[in-house]
Structures are given as structure tokens and as C-alpha cells.
């Protein structure tokens, strides 16, 4: 299921892929409050199409999803992307494991899940100050 939350005057579009509706809602609310346009998907299927049509500046990917692990999704996105895009892995997995997934998958960085989305908002703000990664 995909939901688009347009926000006039938004700074950038953020695509969030997470199988948890609760996590999507928390992240969406926090990012929209900062002026971002947020697109969400509960499934990794069709993400390349969403990236092509929505043209997000940042893609946030949950690592632990039933259909496809997040780091594997990042590899697929990197292989098929036509424009540079920041990709953040987002998970409650241990930091050392997330750091390994970043290196192996080609993600830009990771951010640990917390009860609020403040670390995610800070990470996205930081990413948007630098150039995005190109595909392989």
C-alpha cells in the first residue's frame, strides 16, 4: 500500500519503505512537520518504480521486512537507479550490523529506530547538505 502526503512548499521528497504502519506514521508525521513531502510504502516491491516517478531526495529503508531484507533492496535500487539518491537504512538492529549492511549494500548511511523520529529527521537534514550517491 502506498500513501502520498503532499505538503506545499516542501523542501524535498522522502520515500519511506517499512512494513510497519506504526513506524511509517511516526516518521511521516515528524518529516511533514519539517516541511518534507513524504511518500510511503509497506512493501519493497515496486520501489524502483516509486523512485522513478516520485524522485525522492532520500529513500529510508527498513532492514527487516518479510518480502525482502532492506540491504538487498538497496542493492537492487543502486543497480537500477538513473539519478543519484541518498538511501538510509532504518532499523532497531545493532549499530555494528547496520554499519556492515551500509558497506555491503551501498546505502548512504544508517539511523537507528527510536520511539520518536528525531534521529531520522536529523539524519535526513544532514544528508541533504551533501551530494547523493550514484548507482554502481
pLDDT in tens, 71-105: 999 999 999 877 889 999 999 999 999 999 999 99
> Which helix H or strand E contains 41, and what residues bound it?
strand 37-41
| Domains of the chain, first to last | 2-127 (3.40.50.2300)
User: Which of 2, 34, 7 lies closest to 120, judged by CA?
Assistant: 34
d(CA 62, CA 16) in angstroms, rounded, equals 8
Residue 132 above 70 pLDDT?
no
Residue 80: predicted pLDDT: 86
Instruction: Find out whether 63 and 71 touch, Cβ atoms under 8 Å.
Output: yes
**Sheet holding 86-91: strands in order across?**
2-5, 37-41, 13-17, 58-62, 86-91, 109-112
Confidence band for 122, pLDDT divided at 50, 70 and 90: very high
pLDDT digits (tens, 9 = 90+) for 31-45: 999 999 999 999 999
Amino acid at each position: 500500500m502506498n500513501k502520498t502526503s503532499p505538503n506545499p512548499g516542501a523542501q524535498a521528497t522522502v520515500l519511506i519503505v517499512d512494513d510497519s504502519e506504526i513506524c511509517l506514521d511516526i516518521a511521516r508525521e515528524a518529516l511533514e512537520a519539517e516541511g518534507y513531502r513524504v511518500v510511503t510504502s509497506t512493501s519493497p516491491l515496486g520501489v524502483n518504480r516509486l523512485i522513478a516517478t516520485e524522485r525522492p531526495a532520500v529513500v529510508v529503508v527498513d532492514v527487516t521486512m518479510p518480502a525482502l531484507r532492506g540491504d538487498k533492496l538497496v542493492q537492487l535500487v543502486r543497480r537500477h537507479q538513473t539519478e543519484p539518491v541518498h538511501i538510509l537504512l532504518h532499523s532497531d538492529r545493532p549499530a555494528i550490523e547496520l554499519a556492515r549492511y551500509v558497506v555491503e549494500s551501498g546505502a548512504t548511511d544508517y539511523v537507528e529506530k527510536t520511539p520518536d523520529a528525531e534521529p531520522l529527521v536529523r539524519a535526513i537534514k544532514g544528508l541533504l547538505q551533501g551530494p547523493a550517491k550514484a548507482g554502481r
